[in-house]
Amino acid sequence: MRLPFARTERARSWYPRAAAAILGALALVLSACGGNVTTPNTSTGGTGPVAIGSAGLLLPGKLQWGEDSTGGMPYITPKDSLNGGGPYYGFEVDIASSIARLMNVQQQPTQITWSNWPQGLQARQFDMFMNGLEITSDNTKSATFSIPYYVYTQSIVVLSTNTSINGFADLAGKKVETGTGYEAENVMDDYNSKNPNNKIKVVPTDYPTPFTDLLAGRVDAMFLDTPIAEWYGGNDPSKKFKIVGGALDPGYYGIGFSPSNPNTPTLKKEVDQAIAQLWTDGTLQKIYQQGGAYNAGPDNQPVFEPYGMWGDAEACIGNFLPEHPTHTAGCPPLPQ
């Protein structure tokens, strides 16, 4: 992720000075955290302090988190012939494992269709939902959120042969696919409401990856979260896709809890403490920067693909630490 961010009509302003401020704050915070008592993080090679409570869990000893593994990488996906080990892999599996380790419990992914996450929380099918869930004014109507664990943006993906789409304005009149309920869908709907005579033809789907509709010519572009765009587009070993238009509409991923679950206040506090520890001791950076998985190369040979998700903007997470927030300048605000 690079600063400054490009903007759509509804994007928040980020200024060039934000990069220097964020980098400075990050260096200061990370250098100050060397004295923590730590335990190994075997999934990523990082470390993390101990002693986070688990009293808020629905089932003692088990952290159940909702997700939709059909959405694919780099979030969570079932193991395949290129990636063995546990039953799932992806950066959110690494995060859940790290949180569970701090709580001294086991983590368990729980499958649900992504757009049904509010119903899953309401029915208490799991303790929390973590699957690229954006902290937005719409989503806060259905969930109580943890502090952020990632600063995301939106990106446009087109075929590498495409020369007609170079930025967000070029999406007008085009068929553009995104995930059902993704914030990218809201961004395009907002654009369409302001441009009724030159609308984007939004194509929502519960299965936006691995860009098969784009490859088949059924849509002209994908507009979705940058981690997805980079994994299946910009970093794809086949080089069939490219990302255009820059990083758009920054915001935050958070973990969602049910507002009606009496355990939520306790569990939210515990998870917030865990995220804060993973950020301050460098584990989150190691997951985003050094973690990854194997993808199929042009000749179907295994090629290690890093998540490649750590950027200057991740310093903004420090603004939300329960204790000693960093007050980093230039960060997008949370919705009121």
Tell me: the pLDDT tens digits for 134-168? 999 999 999 999 999 999 999 999 999 999 999 99
Nearest to 56 by CA among 269, 267, 268: 267
Determine the Cα–Cα distance for residues 326 and 334; give it in Å rounded to an integer.
15
Instruction: State both tokens at 46.
Output: 């990082």
3-state secondary structure of 251: strand
* pLDDT for the residue 305: 87
Angle between helices 283-290 and 91-103 (to 10 degrees): 160
pLDDT of residue 300: 80
Find out whether the peptide bond into 210 is cis, omega within 30 degrees of 0. Answer: yes
CB-CB contact of 280 with 36 (8 Å) = yes
Q: Which CATH architecture has domain 152-252?
A: 3-Layer(aba) Sandwich (3.40)
- pLDDT of 234: 85
Which residues, listed in sequence order, are joined to residue 179 by a DSSP beta bridge?
A: 205
Q: Residue 181: its pLDDT value, please?
A: 85
Instruction: Spell out the per-residue pLDDT of the chain, length 336, in tens.
Output: 333 444 454 443 333 334 434 434 444 333 333 333 233 333 344 444 557 999 999 999 999 999 999 888 999 999 998 898 889 999 999 999 999 999 999 999 999 998 899 999 999 999 999 999 999 999 999 999 999 999 999 999 999 999 999 999 999 999 999 998 889 999 999 999 999 999 999 999 988 988 999 999 999 999 999 999 999 898 887 889 999 999 899 999 999 999 999 999 999 999 999 999 999 999 999 999 999 999 877 788 888 989 989 988 899 999 999 999 999 999 999 987
Distance of alpha carbon 127 from alpha carbon 57, whole angstroms: 6
Indicate if 152-252 has the same CATH topology as 17-149+259-320. yes
Strand partners, 253: 134, 150
pLDDT score of 8: 54
- Secondary structure of residue 329 in the 3-state scheme: coil
3-state DSSP helix/strand/coil % of the chain, to nearest 5: 30, 25, 45
Quick check: 74 and 293 in contact, CB under 8 A? yes
- Tally of CA atoms within 13 A in the half-sphere of 230 that contains its CB: 20
Residue-level pLDDT at 107: 97
Looking at residue 29, its pLDDT comes to 39
The CATH class for the domain spanning 17-149+259-320 reads: alpha beta
Q: Where are the domains of the chain?
A: 17-149+259-320, 152-252
